[in-house]
């Protein structure tokens, strides 16, 4: 057992923190305008950004040790030899200490703060307190990100994220007020279509929402013969991953669709897709050599973002999980080395450049094709939550696999409202994959067979582990398909949920 004095600020630390203070002062002046903000990140060296991100994380640690009772106790209860920054997560830190002890000063402030609630997709919803200053900083970065991706011409924002205590809805509406006028409709398709009809196609629109919701919006509009094709629409999505197949589906009516990455545990707006990151991801989809060079051997094509290393320090542990430290000192409840158990990776801009060059591509050429001048921010890729998988005969099957399979067949994608997967018990007690689909037409054996054939064919194509397992255990690996009407079976409670459940537990599948 050691006390928190084992992590002390040396004279060299203190000198570097002093330099950071000067940089922070200059950066605040620079970032007051969008153009100067871009200038900073176009000319700062990727190596310098990586170095200063590390120093900022260490400064945030020392600040938390001095000012946050819970974090000091956490370190006291753990081995902190060699100044190692220990991982925290919901179980080891959030559940272990009262919310007051996790705040600077050991108490909730009398005012100037807001409480967000997580969606509860992994169980009990949690409450997260945030200071006014930290929210304003996050809103500013989101606003700049939107300007970079969608331009500075005027538009109307329709915020279809869920409203209420949830972190995303209210905060995205506030952030985008810096760019446009905003209507917070929530996920109400009728209100969105009536808003579009009221203001008409003479305006450009940015519609915010979860990726499946924008797909549902298109499907309903087509059914009702609403003339989406006459409108100039852009999309900004978040809350869960999005396959390139789904992006292609949305781009039939949307001019641009980009995704943001965040977690209520940490904050929204941690990272965002840029024209360049999307171009790199789509290249990886088309060229296996690029995919393997950047992301290794994996059936899933991860989401690829760029992030601001002066706001967030990101590391990767031995399990390929992303570890986040918010390095700003404005946080009411600091998160140091926080693990949300998202699987992924990071690389600097210059390292991405070298990796692409090694397989015959120029990042400058890719950037030119997008028509958007790149910024040299580091890249972050995300597969999703580490435990969101089922495993059969040594083959892991992920929700991302099912989405890839689904959007490989536009006819099936068009009639699918939602999906989830779980392990089913066969006649001999063996486990086999089972995929549930919520569809908009009457289920029958013909549609069921089509789903089964498409899923099997595409899984064999995209998932190497599944392909090998199918060769050895073909009867076990053929997926069981269950089709449901809207709101039936395991999808009965989806209407009231913020996020759809993609992987069912054993007891959930038994009651489906």
Same domain, 434 and 407: yes
Closest CA to 159 of 144, 142, 137, 140: 142
SS (H, E, C) 262-306: EECCCEEEEEECCHHHHHHHHHHHHCHHHHHHHHCCCCCCCEEEE
Counting Cα atoms < 13 Å in the Cβ hemisphere of 427 gives 1
> Is a pLDDT exceeding 70 seen at residue 450?
yes
Q: Enumerate the β-bridge partners of residue 396.
A: 391
Same domain, 418 and 350: no
Same domain, 370 and 233: yes
Q: Which of 385, 401, 430 is where one domain is finished?
A: 385
Same domain, 398 and 490: yes
Domain count across the chain:
3
Same domain, 312 and 436: no
> Is a pLDDT exceeding 70 seen at residue 500?
no
Q: What percent of the chain has pLDDT over 70?
A: 90
Same domain, 183 and 295: yes
Q: Enumerate the β-bridge partners of residue 195.
A: none
In a domain, 118, yes or no: no
pLDDT digits (tens, 9 = 90+) for 428-442: 556 788 999 999 999
In a domain, 217, yes or no: yes
Same domain, 246 and 161: yes
Lowest-confidence region among 283-287, 335-339, 396-400: 396-400
Question: In the chain, helix, strand, coil percent, each to 5?
Answer: 45, 20, 35
In a domain, 119, yes or no: no
Q: Rounded to an integer, what distance in angstroms lies between the CA atom of residue 160 and that of residue 163? A: 8
In the prediction, which pLDDT does 498 show? 54
CATH code for position 416: 3.30.300.30
> Cβ neighbours of residue 223 under 8 Å, at least 6 residues apart?
none
Q: Of 412 and 85, which is predicted with more confidence?
A: 412
> Is a pLDDT exceeding 80 seen at residue 279?
yes
Answer positive or negative: Cα dihedral of 498, 503, 508, 511: positive
Same domain, 449 and 489: yes
In a domain, 294, yes or no: yes
Q: Rounded to an integer, what distance in angstroms lies between the CA atom of residue 60 and that of residue 338? A: 12
In the prediction, which pLDDT does 5 show? 45
> Is a pLDDT exceeding 50 seen at residue 8?
yes
In a domain, 496, yes or no: yes
Same domain, 427 and 380: no
In a domain, 120, yes or no: no
Pairing of strands 127-131, 113-117: antiparallel
pTM for the predicted model, two decimal places: 0.86
Q: 68 is in which domain, residue-wise?
A: 4-109
Same domain, 314 and 234: yes
């Amino acid at each position: 057992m050691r006390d928190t004095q084992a992590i002390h600020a040396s004279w060299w630390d203190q000198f570097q923190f002093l330099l950071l203070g000067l940089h922070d002062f200059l950066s605040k002046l620079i970032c007051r305008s969008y153009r100067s903000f871009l200038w900073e990140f176009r000319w700062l060296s990727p190596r310098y950004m990586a170095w200063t991100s590390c120093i900022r994380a260490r400064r945030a640690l020392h600040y938390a040790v001095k000012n946050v009772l819970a974090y000091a106790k956490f370190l006291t209860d753990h081995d902190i030899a060699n100044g190692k920054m220990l991982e925290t997560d919901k179980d080891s830190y959030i559940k272990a200490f009262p919310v007051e002890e996790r705040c600077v000063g050991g108490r909730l402030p009398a005012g100037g703060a807001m409480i967000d609630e997580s969606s509860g997709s992994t169980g009990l919803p949690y409450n997260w307190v945030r200071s006014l200053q930290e929210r304003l900083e996050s809103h500013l970065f989101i606003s700049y990100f939107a300007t970079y991706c969608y331009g500075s011409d005027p538009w109307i924002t329709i915020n279809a994220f869920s409203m209420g205590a949830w972190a995303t809805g209210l905060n995205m509406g506030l952030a985008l007020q810096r760019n446009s006028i905003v209507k917070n409709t929530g996920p109400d398709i009728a209100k969105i279509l009536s808003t579009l009809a009221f203001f008409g196609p003479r305006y450009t629109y940015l519609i915010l929402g979860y990726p499946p919701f924008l797909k549902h919006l298109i499907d309903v509009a087509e059914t009702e013969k609403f003339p989406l094709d006459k409108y100039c629409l852009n999309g900004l999505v978040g809350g869960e991953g999005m396959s390139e197949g789904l992006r292609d589906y949305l781009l039939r009516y949307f001019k641009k669709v980009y995704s943001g990455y965040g977690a209520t545990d940490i904050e929204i707006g941690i990272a965002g897709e840029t024209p360049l990151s999307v171009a790199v991801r789509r290249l990886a989809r088309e060229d296996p050599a690029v995919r393997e060079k950047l992301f290794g051997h994996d059936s899933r094509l991860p989401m690829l973002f760029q992030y601001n290393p002066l706001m967030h320090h990101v590391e990767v542990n031995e399990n390929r999980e992303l570890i986040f430290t918010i390095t700003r000192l404005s946080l009411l409840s600091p998160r140091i080395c926080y693990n949300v158990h998202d699987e992924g990776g990071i690389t600097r801009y210059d390292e991405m450049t070298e990796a692409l060059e090694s397989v015959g591509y120029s990042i400058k050429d890719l950037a030119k094709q997008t028509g958007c001048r790149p910024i040299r921010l580091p890249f972050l890729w995300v597969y999703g939550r580490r435990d969101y998988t089922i495993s059969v005969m040594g083959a892991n099957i992920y929700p991302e696999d099912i989405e890839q399979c689904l959007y490989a067949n536009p006819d099936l994608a068009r009639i699918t409202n939602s999906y989830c997967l779980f392990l089913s018990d066969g006649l001999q007690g063996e486990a086999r994959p089972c995929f549930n689909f919520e569809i908009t037409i009457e289920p029958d054996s013909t549609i069921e067979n089509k789903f089964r054939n498409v899923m099997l064919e595409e899984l064999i194509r995209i998932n190497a582990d599944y392909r090998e397992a199918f060769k050895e255990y073909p009867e076990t690996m053929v997926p069981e398909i269950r089709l449901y009407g809207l709101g039936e079976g395991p999808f009965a409670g989806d209407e009231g949920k913020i996020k759809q459940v993609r992987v069912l537990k054993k007891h959930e599948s038994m009651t489906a």
